Structure 1
Amino acid sequence: MSLAEIACPIPDIAPADMDGAIAAARAAVGLPVGSRVVAAMSGGVDSTVVAGLLHKAGYDVVGVTLQLYDHGAALKKKGACCAGQDIHDARLAAETLGIPHYVLDYESRFRDAVIDQFADSYLRGHTPVPCIRCNQTVKFRDLLDVARDLGAAAMATGHYVRRAEAGGRVQMRKAIDHSRDQSYFLFATTPAQLDYLRFPLADLEKPQVRGVAAELGLRIAAKPDSQDICFVPSGDYRTLIDKLRPQGRQAGQIVHMDGRVLGAHEGVTDYTIGQRRGLNVAVGEPLFVTKLEPETRRVVVGPREALLTASLVLEETNWLGDEASMEAAADAQAPVLARVRSTRQPSPARLARGDDGVRVVFDLGEEGVAPGQACALYDPADPDRLLGGGFIRETTPVV
């Protein structure tokens, strides 16, 4: 299929250097040609191109797609991975490529590990990152076991990150296209998992990936990227939470941080830290949600400067380097680059040790940090290198 033959071309398709892409895929896999590799195929462009490149590179590729949920809306909406149309697209791509393909029903595991945790986080006044939980549990734990059972020497995914070996250890690094970098979402990948994983798209930008898909004759070359949380295809996560955890729909007060009662709300789960719109209160100055108190059903608001965070405490930490060295770094208050949102650049900070666990202390403060989100840590001397990170348990504001 040529670029001109794509039914709905989009601007970000670039001509493909197939030889270069195949060579890069071989280098990323680093295994003898003919080795079996399981390709995790979500039905999207990235993971499908991974399967196609590895097949062209001469590997024994087995495609695996996970059925994670079944929402009627998702069945008809493009860009909601792992359900309906996307499973069909993955199966059709595997047929086009001529590789075996399996669909595994992981709905129960996904609900327990991701959807229920997502809903419970909002009840606690936290802001979850379900994509990280999915990678951490279903994809990089359960699916890796399946890949090993299939006799694969490695499992490949379409994530935009780089796997590199240095000093006898495997590192995770940012992909060449920093605008697509997904290392933040993979901070919880363990060293053992990283040993087994491969990321063949590390040296490609997204327009090039779409060009490869077109050259491979794949109909999904112009398929839009997923924009929503996959199991909330409408984008209305509050409706899902109300259905799963109706106890969260309890009225309470909207209170200014100085103690004034400004209004009322219908449920703490309607709000997240940093939210400005939808407060329905007016005091003559812009107000933002600065704190959520599910126990008292209070939503605390204040000026923007009240969002500035001095430090945070991590839980469920994961270190991709030498764990003893990272623990020692916390004791020594070593410098790090801390990233608290996937769309935000890392900020200078220092690790610290406290009675409550590993603490990240920002040099200049950081805005809009919310419990429940992730904090990924990078090496200041080598900013592309992911050191690990953790989930944010609590924050301390700048006084």
Structure 2
Amino acid sequence: MSADNGSRVLVAMSGGVDSSVAALLLKRQGYEGMGVLLKLFPGGEDKEGLRGEKACCSLESAETARSVAMGLGMPFYVFNFSEDFRREVLERFITAYQKGETPNPCISCNRYIKLGKLFRRAAETDCSHVATGHYARVERSGRWLLKKGLDEDKDQSYFLYNLTQDQLSHLLLPLGGLTKAQVRRLAEEAGFINAHRQESQDICFVPDGDYARFIEQYTNTPAEPGDFVGTAGQVYGSHRGIIRYTVGQRKGLGLSFPQPMYVCGIDPDNNRVLLGEEAELFSDRLTARDLNLIAVDSIPSPMRVTAKIRYRHKEQPATVVQTGPEEMEVRFDKPQRAVTRGQAVVLYDCDTVIGGGTIY
């Protein structure tokens, strides 16, 4: 894709190799780029030890992003979205855990901050497009479509299912047709200092993976203990707060059983964690709310799809029925393990994202 004359694009740059190569490719395509780093964390949180030095928008990341942008001849700016991030991502994340859900904050961040806020800022700065380093593709076929990235191991279309037609019409995803190995090779050839930077697998604001500690520190409130109970109501012992558990969890229960036992559900109203054997983890259907559709205006019920219930879940054949303007029921051909409230279910037709919603 080549740029139209005078096309200016706002490039989200994190300091990582993906966004750096996205900026490089856009420059080669003739776009006039403007590099932007998003400041997502209020000043005091780094000092409280909630994040690591290599976390998103750390000083190291900012300097790397600035170095790459300047090397490409692009102006570079830092946009302070910390209060928006606190409200739309951190507080949603904490509230979801307190309600017994297991949220995916990367989806909220893309929806409300990295893309939602950036599209508005792009319009304010006379940029025709926003670009990111996501591994996904945008195509036009009557309507704008979101498609999987060609690198199956890196495809990130799952995180972008909330995009609208207007947003897709102004979004550039230069890495959608590349593999990670190709991206690193391009970065190396360009002399980028982050060409071989290791990727983090953790949530950016909880780099050590201890979500419960983060929530307790953030709210300055210890989680309230309660009962572990069986699916028939029998009490097995005490848990250390529902924020420490998620459906499918086996380790860290602190109890001993003659057979493996798993978290099968969380009852926030009664502050209970439900335990059961693995067979009790499987379900052949789910309901989802906050529905967003991309490939269609509404789901022609029933519709055959493949559905993914978490990012690393292999999508499975299913039938979907839209039960309301923003609700749907997904019925799987085969029962799925650990369908989890708060996670996103994303629907596909081959490599095209139909849409998705939040499991409840």
Q: Same fold (TM over 0.5)?
A: yes
Tell me the CA shift for residue 75 of structure 1: 6.8
Match of 1:307 in 2: 281
Tell me the CA shift for residue 226 of structure 1: 2.1
Partner Cα separation in structure 2 for residue 213 and residue 353 of structure 1: 44
Match of 1:14 in 2: none
Task: Return the match for 1:41 from 13, 23, 26.
Answer: 13
Structure 2 spans left out of the alignment, 5+ residues: none
Structure 1 spans left out of the alignment, 5+ residues: 1-26, 394-399
Match of 1:77 in 2: 53
Match of 2:351 in 1: 384
* Conservation of the 8 A alpha-carbon contact between 2:291 and 2:327: no
Paired letter, 2:216: D
- TM-score norm. by structure 2 comes to 0.95
Partner Cα separation in structure 2 for residue 342 and residue 75 of structure 1: 23
Partner Cα separation in structure 2 for residue 194 and residue 388 of structure 1: 13
Please state whether the residue corresponding to 2:195 is helix, strand or coil.
helix
Give 1:159-308 correspondences, 5 Å limit. Answer: 159-166=134-141, 168-246=142-220, 249-308=223-282
Paired letter, 1:224: Q
- TM-score norm. by structure 1 comes to 0.86
The answer to whether 1:120 aligns with 2:99 is no
Match of 1:61 in 2: 33
Partner Cα separation in structure 2 for residue 125 and residue 75 of structure 1: 24
Match of 2:321 in 1: 352
Partner Cα separation in structure 1 for residue 58 and residue 107 of structure 2: 18
Task: Return the match for 2:339 from 369, 377, 394.
Answer: 369
Once the two structures are superposed, residues 121-149 of structure 1 have per-residue CA deviations (whole angstroms, 9 ceiling, x without a partner) of 00000000000000000111111111121
Partner Cα separation in structure 2 for residue 147 and residue 50 of structure 1: 17
The answer to whether 1:156 aligns with 2:131 is yes
Once the two structures are superposed, residues 179-212 of structure 1 have per-residue CA deviations (whole angstroms, 9 ceiling, x without a partner) of 0000111111112111110100011111110111
Partner Cα separation in structure 2 for residue 352 and residue 248 of structure 1: 41
Tell me the CA shift for residue 311 of structure 1: 1.2
Q: How many residues align?
A: 355
Give 1:298-337 correspondences, 5 Å limit. Answer: 298-324=272-298, 326=299, 329=300, 332-337=301-306
Pick 1 or 2: higher relative contact order, CA cutoff 8 A, min separation 6.
1
Sequence identity (%): 38
- Cα separation, partners in 2 of 1:75 and 1:86, compared to 1, 3 Å: farther
Match of 2:310 in 1: 341
* Conservation of the 8 A alpha-carbon contact between 1:248 and 1:268: no
Choose 175-184 or 62-71, whichever is displaced more: 62-71
Partner Cα separation in structure 2 for residue 126 and residue 299 of structure 1: 12
Paired letter, 1:77: E
* Conservation of the 8 A alpha-carbon contact between 1:71 and 1:231: no
Tell me the CA shift for residue 74 of structure 1: 7.0
Please state whether the residue corresponding to 2:359 is helix, strand or coil.
strand
Tell me the CA shift for residue 260 of structure 1: 2.0
Partner Cα separation in structure 1 for residue 39 and residue 214 of structure 2: 19
Choose 297-306 or 31-40, whichever is displaced more: 31-40
Please state whether the residue corresponding to 1:71 is helix, strand or coil.
helix
Partner Cα separation in structure 2 for residue 76 and residue 338 of structure 1: 34
Partner Cα separation in structure 1 for residue 119 and residue 189 of structure 2: 29
Match of 1:97 in 2: 72
Tell me the CA shift for residue 283 of structure 1: 2.0
* Conservation of the 8 A alpha-carbon contact between 1:45 and 1:223: yes
Once the two structures are superposed, residues 12-52 of structure 1 have per-residue CA deviations (whole angstroms, 9 ceiling, x without a partner) of xxxxxxxxxxxxxxx2xx53254111111111110011112
Task: Return the match for 1:145 from 100, 104, 120.
Answer: 120
Please state whether the residue corresponding to 1:344 is helix, strand or coil.
coil
Partner Cα separation in structure 1 for residue 116 and residue 222 of structure 2: 31
